[in-house]
Amino acid sequence: MTLLAFSLWRRWVVLAIGWCAVLAGLILALTVSDSLRWVRGADLGPVLQWVAMQVPAVVVRVMPVAALTATAITVGELVASRETVAMWAGGIRLGRIVRPWWPTLALVIAGSLAVSEWVTPWAEREASVLWWSITEDRPAMHRLVRQDLLMPQATSVRFERYEAATDRLRVVRVVTFDGDRVTVVTAESATWSANVLTLSEGSVVTLDLAALDRTTATPDRVADALTGGRSPLTTLELPEARSETVARYSGGTVGDGRSLSRQWFVAGDPGSAYVERRAAALRWHEKVASAFGSLTLAIATLTLAVSFARTVTRAFALASLAGLGWLIMAAAGQWLVVAGLVAPWVGAWSPHGVTLVVLAVALGLRR
């Protein structure tokens, strides 16, 4: 590595870390500001710990834009000082100077994937536990009331009221689909610990859909297809732990508390509901695509800055437009997936494809 290449690489790394910290702080402040109104009066220590647990997920999200901004400023400064002209005159190609960037970006991608697999799920589960502890006497738990809490293996949980004093759910219903069999468990009250529901005054009803014929589904035949009855107490094991459900639904974290491998499993689990499988596939592709976004945006920004930027201000403007466009494309891809118009992988990876197409068109017009 030459002295110029090392100096440029060091400048790029410092800018990337700095912008990552700035963007992460800004997004974290905007993300948790609404939730902070639920923890007024709580001890400052647990609240700060809860905020700190959000950092890994936010850093992974902003890393592509940080890499983009650092690349634009570094190359913009190089172009503005006419260092590129001197390099080209001396027969030194820019690709040789920025060669140390690529191993660094590879480490960033690997690090982002590792954080998404091992660090982020743990941090988000810890954040949900902290959120639970600092809001146990506040309205946070009530956000789960009257929601259909979707879980893997085609299971959903719903309760109508929550008593914070006794940590008890009231008017509980658990629905599970297993092929042609639908099992509905209802109870007047229940406690939820880990992945176990302890139901009081419950009933279990199973409907065998295969025993019904649409043309002869009379009330008598429906009654014959129903089995079950009331039981004084039922212990029901759920396919998901309480902390994981809280992380996804309570609003206490910026993520869903699931690792990449867990998302992949749910996406391919035939026992999970179609909506749940599709949502898990979208989140898996989004996390992986976001990790590789650092490489795509760095390549695009490097090329555009050298071709079109003549000042640092113009390079920064290009980076801002590219970053804004990236975020808009990511949001649009997510909306298209949610609307059912495209596959999850298309929506998640569309910013990469569109960015490379725009880059090719811009270079073609430049020539």
- Position 207 confidence tier, pLDDT thresholds 50, 70, 90: confident
Question: Is residue 273's pLDDT more than 90?
Answer: no
Least confident of 14-18, 113-117, 189-193: 189-193
Tell me, what amino acid is at 40? Answer: R
Least confident of 159-163, 203-207, 236-240, 300-304: 203-207
pLDDT digits (tens, 9 = 90+) for 51-88: 899 899 999 999 999 999 999 999 888 888 877 767 77
- Position 141 confidence tier, pLDDT thresholds 50, 70, 90: low
- Position 37 confidence tier, pLDDT thresholds 50, 70, 90: low
- How many Cβ atoms are within 10 Å of 121's Cβ, its own excluded? 24
E-assigned strands of the chain? 149-151, 155-163, 168-178, 181-193, 196-208, 226-237
Average pLDDT of the chain to the nearest whole number: 83
Looking at residue 346, its pLDDT comes to 95
Question: Is residue 50's pLDDT more than 80?
Answer: yes
Please give the Cα distance from 175 to 182 (Å, whole number): 7
Q: Which of 118, 367, 142 is nearest to 249 (CA)?
A: 142
Q: For the chain, which residues make up each domain, given as ranges? A: 3-135+275-366, 154-238
Half-sphere exposure of 157 (CA within 13 A, CB side): 27
Handedness of CA 357, 361, 366, 367 (dihedral sign): positive
- Position 13 confidence tier, pLDDT thresholds 50, 70, 90: very high
Handedness of CA 339, 343, 348, 353 (dihedral sign): negative
Question: Is residue 288's pLDDT more than 90?
Answer: yes
Handedness of CA 40, 130, 109, 94 (dihedral sign): positive
Consecutive H or E run containing 171: strand 168-178
